[in-house]
Amino acid sequence: MRKITYAEAIREALIEEMRRDPSVILYGEDVANFGGIFRVSAGLKDMFGDERVFDSPISENALVGGGVGAALTGLRPVVELQFADFLFTAGDEVVLKAGMWRYGHGGAYAIPLVVRCPSGATGVGPEHGQCPEAFFMHAPGLKIVSPSNPADAKGLLKSAIRDNNPVLYFEHKLLYATRGEVPEGEDVLVPLGKAAIAREGDDLTLVAISAMVPKALKAAKRLAAEGHSVEVIDPRSLVPFDRETIIESVKKTGKIVVAEESYKTLGVGAEIGAMLMEQALEYLDRPLRRVAIPDVPIPTAAVLEAFVLPNEEKIYQACRELLA
């Protein structure tokens, strides 16, 4: 076990999977010569050559469409979009082709495609700063992962590359420099569809997505100092979604807060709320609380961005209100 950054964990996963399987290729805008806009793929072109690591034109629809074609013909493409927001530019290929073609052709072929999606608000405004996971949870046929720490970043990416279905891999930009312990070994995988209990507790369930997990853990630590035991759950995978872990936690605590860096209306928290209404209503003794972005575009100005984004304090206050 050693400590590396989130970005290093992603790069390590790419290297190991490309060494293991010659059908894995990596491409995108500035991925090869520059090493990616966030430098995650630096040096990979020198390691694997320009037939397996290469730059693309500025056309997200063509990038993902090419990935669908490559996957259909036996490759395992990893396509990097510079920002997760650009999934909307590639919407036809992501939703109607990658997501639906396997079903539409009776399962005659697999589409082992990974689309890497750097997400999160970092002062870059509404077209480069979204976390649009919830949008694509609504699209059948896609798998969706959103790691919150280096170990999961590596293990989930390796599992995604080996999966025979299209996977949207959301990597939060503010997590790239964070450090954490990552197991050694090329076959240390994190399964898609299994949540992690980041902190155990008995008084309240706190579900946090991606970069909200570190903030949720800090809020839980503050609440522990006040005598409250908060269980923090990191879903890790949004499709498939580990409903059982959340329901079992709510059976124990009777209260739940969901924290996510996406829009409140029809977000992940809304889906969790509907799930609990259908499957666990009798266990809730307080209404669910959601900490999310109000239904406004993400501002560019730092002071306005900070105003709309979820943070540790907002999570803490939502939990305190339920625990009161």
**Domains 2-182 and 196-323 are alike in CATH topology:** yes
* Secondary structure (DSSP) of 216-249: HHHHHHHHHHTT--EEEEE--EEETT-HHHHHHH
0.95 exceeded by the pTM? yes
**100 phi, psi to nearest 5 deg:** -115, -15
Note the pLDDT of residue 98. Answer: 98
Task: Kindly provide the b/e burial profile for residues 66-80, where b requires at least 16 CB atoms within 10 angstroms of the residue's own CB.
Answer: bbbebbbeebbbbbb
Contact partners, residue 280, CB within 8 Å, separation at least 6? 247, 250, 251
Amino acid 1: pLDDT: 80
Give me the residue spans of the domains in the chain: 2-182, 196-323
Gap between the Cα atoms of 20 and 186, Å rounded: 9
Per-position b or e across 127-144, b if 16+ CB within 10 A of its CB:
ebbbbbbbbbbebebbbb
Tens digit of pLDDT for each residue in 55-88? 999 999 999 999 999 999 999 999 999 999 999 9
pLDDT reading at 175 higher than 90:
yes
What pLDDT is attached to residue 185?
A: 84
92: its two tokens:
């036809």
Q: Mean pLDDT across the stretch 206-227?
A: 98
- Give the CB-side neighbour count of residue 20, counting CA atoms within 13 A: 14
Between CA 276 and CA 284 the distance in angstroms is: 8
- Dist. CA 218–CA 92, nearest whole Å: 39
Q: What is the CATH number of domain 196-323?
A: 3.40.50.920
State pLDDT tens for residues 285-305: 999 999 999 999 999 999 999
Q: Distance (Å, rounded) from C-alpha 136 to C-alpha 90?
A: 12
Asked if 251 and 276 count as a contact pair (C-beta separation under 8 A), the reply is no
Measured over all CA atoms, what is the biggest interatomic distance in the chain, rounded to whole angstroms?
Answer: 60
- 119-149 pLDDT per residue, tens: 999 999 999 999 999 999 999 999 999 999 9
Helices (H), the chain: 6-20, 44-48, 60-72, 91, 101-104, 133-137, 150-162, 212-225, 243-253, 268-279, 302-308, 312-323
What is the per-residue pLDDT across 84-119, written as a single tens digit (0 to 9) for each? 999 999 999 999 999 999 999 999 999 999 999 999
Q: Which of 105, 128, 138, 228 is catalytic?
A: 128
Say whether 96 sits in a helix, a strand or coil.
Answer: helix
128 catalytic per annotation: yes
Homologous superfamily of 2-182 in CATH? Thiamin diphosphate (ThDP)-binding fold, Pyr/PP domains (3.40.50.970)
